[in-house]
Structure 1
Amino acid sequence: MLRIYKSLFLLFMAIIISSCSEDFLETTPTESIAAADALSTTANMKLILNGLHRQMFAQSPLPGGSNSRAGEHYFIPMFDVITGDLIHSAPGNGWMRGELQWTTHTDATSLSCEQLWYQRYHFIASANSIINKVAEDEPVVDEELSNILGQAYAYRAWSYYRLITAYAKGYLLTDPSSSPGVPIIMATEAPFESGPRSSVEEVYAQMEADIDQALKYFGNASAPDNKSHISINAAYGIKARIALSKGDWSTAAEAAEQARVGYPLLEESDWLSGFNTYDLSEVIWGGHVIDTETTYYRSYFYLISPTFNGSQNRGNPKLFNIERYNQIPDTDFRKQAVLPLAPNTNSAAANGQGGGYESDPNYDNSDDFWTAWSDVISTYGMTTAHNTHPYMHVKFLQKNPGTIDPDDVIYMRSAEMYLIEAEAKTMMGDISGAQEVLQEFGSSRDSAYDSSLFATQADLMEHIKFQRYVELYGEGFSYTDHIRWDEGIDLTGSGASEVYYQNGFMQERPSINDNWVFKIPQAEIDSNPNISESDQN
């Protein structure tokens, strides 16, 4: 982390120049702003924040950054790949092979371990610069500055949440007061050194203080410019996630309920439209990807969408868990987002059944096999170079299918908040309260939904786990879900190939398996005098 603060000058300039707001990009000559003036006005503070908004999805311009793993566009699908929830049907071009085989996050020298760590600390350094500058200058905090400070504190809380849930043992699985967490960095002045690992409890206390401070500022803030900016609803959503991960059920339920206000659940046509825009009614927080700033072949849709015209998807359509699919009622429209009878046209398919009707158990002649493939291609707008596979998902669809055009990245939806609220109430023993929340949510997806069928805490929790998988598939929550629930991995019957998945096919539960914790980057151990090899996870 030492290198982050030594390059703080470059960090400010990179963030300012790469600001993501369309308005600022069109009206502000950001290249002309001197580093010494970066925090001199609220307008320039906004540019710092706009750089963070862009960092959430775009190619990394930061010192030491890697554009192959920049922003949330990579880490959202990664957290579903690690657990085997987002199933790869074939090796494809190799993207995330190490993640699904559990050789990446267990390797201290891997780019995934390094970039997740350093990018989140870049967010923290930027937030600190704004927070500390305002504390030093003591200006009048008007609506505009309240918005800026609310976002800065929320980004800092979110960043520590991303770090503590990856690089430390789960809060519910350890003694948080003594279990090592991550360094808490608050300063922005010399000597620019990082610190030792704080305890898990201390990091949670800092996150909670930050998100509560953010909410105070948002209470008197101007409205967000768009959904790329953190709003008061998004801040409540972050608070709900933090509380859920530590088992603070009451706070999680209350915050989740506040977060979803004003963001109505999607109707069938919108839910099935592809999740490619943050204009959907449920989206609380999301990145509006600007064409000139997309990562194209490193974008979220490149990694996850079956229609994207890239080698990752043409040769490796992503699969939905077969056992989970079979549990979805026919009255639930989300079942349409999976194609169980899509022919396996890929001769390199990991299950060894691809290439033609002879090896595909769903077809007994060539005409039916290729007609089925043609129907999928034409229905969803893929190219003739795209392969299909049984149980492939069609949840994430491009606005312009069969191209490399960018689409938005969704970070938070009200559907997640309903499910957080339901889980928290279930864990508190509020069975009727959980049923009521689930009924509102479930009936929006399933015309025959009846939450009263789940009348015990155990039944409700199993149902909520099912609902989180079906609803939030591909949105990056399964890793923290497995840790919170202390559930291991067993992909038997899922459709994943044991030969291909190797170590990732089966893993013991997190409470007895330290491999669930990401390795601290070796670069951090080598450069931080306060962290040594003995501190490694």
Structure 2
Amino acid sequence: MKINLSKYIIIAASTLVLGSCSSDFLDQTPTEFISEDAATADTDALYLALNGIHRSMYIRYESQGQTGVGGIMQQMDIAGEDLVYTASNSWFSSVYNWTAPSNENSSEVRFPYRTFYQIIRNANAIINNADAASGPQADKDITKGQALLYRAFGHFQLVQIYGKRYVSGAANTQDGVPLVLSTTDIVGRSSVEDVYKQVNEDIDVAIGLLNGYKKKNNSHLDLPVAYGLKARVNLVQGNWLIAADNAAKARAGKNLMTIAEYTAGFNDNSNKEWMWGSHVVEVQTAYFANFGGYMSRNFNSAVIKACPKAINSKLYNQIPATDVRAAIFSKTGAHPNVVLVAAAKKFPYTSQKFLSVSTGDSRCDVPYMRAAEMYLIEAEAKAKLGAADAAQVLFDLVKKRNPSYVLSTNTGQALADEVMFQRRIELWGEGFRFMDLKRTNSDLDRTGANHNSTLTGGVLSVPASDKRWQWLIPRDEINANPLVKQNDL
């Protein structure tokens, strides 16, 4: 039986139903579902629907490697130059060699598109029905505010992947992505400018609704997360003052990790520095499809044993020995402080940043936003502004990672470049590199490092002008919705 997904919403314990702006493309039979009316009838149902979105961030999608938003984070780093494949494997290899972005039939291209539009669609069900639901107004505001942030997050990620880069000061009339604001929308692509306008509007409304809300755990989205998302968006837009101001608000009251905490495995979303992340409980584990099944160093999976993830050797060799971030990679590949299975292959520069629960348990909480990122956004934006305290903001972060770090004397673009270096080593593996290259109009450069040209398909450099920076819209979506125009082939 074919289900029209515009009438249904996923509940917290369900298997994900993929949704987008074209129901024909994404109509699939859910394992568990309730009608949209039932899912939004009262505030208890709204919370259940919201928890379903939280859950959808880290479950398995079409294939084992498609580990929710954590899987898309992997794609965004694999397409960059800082994450290195150490051996041949089938895990997102077409992203690593840049063939996927120009293949409209690629499952890797389809994965982010379906994932984020499903999140958007379920968020829309809450947004558009919360006011009419029965129950306390405060609960309506809390669920609606978080749903608005999910919708903003989904559209923001999509426009960065499938649209042309945002150019500060320009009209930005280039094609973005479809703006889906209801569960029944079938629309064409909005301009990049209009997408960013809607994203900012959604965040602003959410900020008003979430004022005073105290979340129970970091799976939920609160005011600091809203400020953090606002900072991200405006960093991409080049709205430096707005980005810096919101980043400062987002990190207010948050403590940075100690050096000991930094090397603990990046696997606990209750970490004092984390602002937003998914906690994978044992009864909801996806086993080999967890984030830790691909990004950890210690789990006993074929991909980790054969192809552990490494850092770009040129980047690593710039990290001072006194910096704790050097310690989350093993230059020799021996990993003396990590328990590895006997069959694990060893390669230089491999990562032990992410550690799963054990060799037999791949659970690893997924970080979506940390206070450290907010320092970096604030420092970069203030460097662009020429603010007097830009270097001090950077110092306040880096001194926690490297006790020998001294206040930078750089200013302007030189300081912004220094911030970017710190961003690359601080946020390695957290899904930012492809988008950072794209927003700064930078070339991809894997040359002179430990990338194997055979594994990259010979792709060691890609100019910023290359059309593959705009991933193709999935062919199935275009077939289902003729209003959607394809990117340049």
Match of 1:392 in 2: 350
Question: Relative to structure 1, is the Cα distance of residues 399 and 138 closer, same or farther in structure 2, using a 3 angstrom cutoff?
Answer: closer
Deviation at 1:443, TM superposition (A): 0.8
> Structure 2: how far apart are the matches of 1:245 and 1:201?
12
Match of 2:386 in 1: 429
Matches for 1:10-49 after TM superposition, within 5 Å: 11-12=8-9, 14-18=10-14, 36-49=37-50
Is 1:506 matched with 2:461? yes
Match of 2:411 in 1: 456
Match of 1:262 in 2: 253
Is 1:59 matched with 2:60? yes
CA contact (8 A) 2:82 2:315 kept: no
Matches for 1:364-383 after TM superposition, within 5 Å: 373=334, 376=335, 379-383=337-341
Is 1:211 matched with 2:164? no
Offset from partner CA, 1:374-423 (integer Å, 9 cap, x none): xx3x63011111111111121112232x2233121111100011000000
Match of 2:149 in 1: 154
Q: What stretches of structure 2 of length at least 5 have no aligned partner?
A: 17-30
Question: Relative to structure 1, is the Cα distance of residues 252 and 495 closer, same or farther in structure 2, using a 3 angstrom cutoff?
Answer: same
Secondary structure at the counterpart of residue 476 of structure 2: helix
> Structure 2: how far apart are the matches of 1:245 and 1:532?
24
Worse-superposed segment, 67-76 or 295-304 = 67-76
Which residue identity lines up with residue 109 of structure 1 in the other structure? Answer: N
Match of 2:194 in 1: 202
Deviation at 1:40, TM superposition (A): 0.4
Which residue identity lines up with residue 346 of structure 2 in the other structure? Answer: T
Secondary structure at the counterpart of residue 252 of structure 1: helix
Which residue identity lines up with residue 90 of structure 1 in the other structure? Answer: A
> Structure 2: how far apart are the matches of 1:80 and 1:178?
28
Question: Relative to structure 1, is the Cα distance of residues 409 and 16 closer, same or farther in structure 2, using a 3 angstrom cutoff?
Answer: closer
Deviation at 1:536, TM superposition (A): 5.4
> Structure 2: how far apart are the matches of 1:128 and 1:36?
12
Which residue identity lines up with residue 405 of structure 2 in the other structure? Answer: Y
Give the CA RMSD over aligned residues.
2.3
Tell me the TM-score normalised to structure 1 length.
0.84
Deviation at 1:37, TM superposition (A): 1.6
Matches for 1:218-297 after TM superposition, within 5 Å: 218-221=210-213, 223-297=214-288
Which residue identity lines up with residue 88 of structure 2 in the other structure? Answer: P
Deviation at 1:336, TM superposition (A): 1.3
Question: Relative to structure 1, is the Cα distance of residues 536 and 530 closer, same or farther in structure 2, using a 3 angstrom cutoff?
Answer: farther
Match of 1:6 in 2: 4
Secondary structure at the counterpart of residue 459 of structure 2: helix
CA contact (8 A) 1:166 1:517 kept: yes
> Structure 2: how far apart are the matches of 1:503 and 1:195?
38
> Structure 1: how far apart are the matches of 2:3 and 2:471?
23
CA contact (8 A) 1:265 1:414 kept: yes
Which residue, out of 426, 439, 446, partners 1:484? 439
> Structure 1: how far apart are the matches of 2:276 and 2:51?
14
Matches for 1:515-534 after TM superposition, within 5 Å: 515-533=468-486
Larger radius of gyration between Structure 1 and Structure 2: 1
Deviation at 1:450, TM superposition (A): 1.4
Which residue identity lines up with residue 71 of structure 2 in the other structure? Answer: Y
Matches for 1:386-425 after TM superposition, within 5 Å: 386-400=344-358, 402-425=359-382
CA contact (8 A) 1:284 1:414 kept: yes
Which residue identity lines up with residue 77 of structure 1 in the other structure? Answer: Q
> Structure 1: how far apart are the matches of 2:198 and 2:367?
26
Which residue identity lines up with residue 420 of structure 1 in the other structure? Answer: I
Match of 1:308 in 2: 299
CA contact (8 A) 2:43 2:136 kept: no
Question: Relative to structure 1, is the Cα distance of residues 31 and 108 closer, same or farther in structure 2, using a 3 angstrom cutoff?
Answer: closer
Q: State the identity %.
A: 32
Offset from partner CA, 1:433-452 (integer Å, 9 cap, x none): 21110111111111111123
Question: Relative to structure 1, is the Cα distance of residues 173 and 505 closer, same or farther in structure 2, using a 3 angstrom cutoff?
Answer: farther
> Structure 2: how far apart are the matches of 1:5 and 1:182?
25
Offset from partner CA, 1:436-473 (integer Å, 9 cap, x none): 101111111111111233x2213212211110111111
CA contact (8 A) 2:46 2:130 kept: no
CA contact (8 A) 1:426 1:461 kept: yes
Offset from partner CA, 1:48-84 (integer Å, 9 cap, x none): 1111101111124xxxx55642411211111000012
Secondary structure at the counterpart of residue 172 of structure 1: coil
Match of 2:424 in 1: 469
CA contact (8 A) 1:19 1:47 kept: no
Match of 1:357 in 2: none
Which residue identity lines up with residue 391 of structure 2 in the other structure? Answer: Q
Is 1:129 matched with 2:125? yes
Match of 1:171 in 2: 166
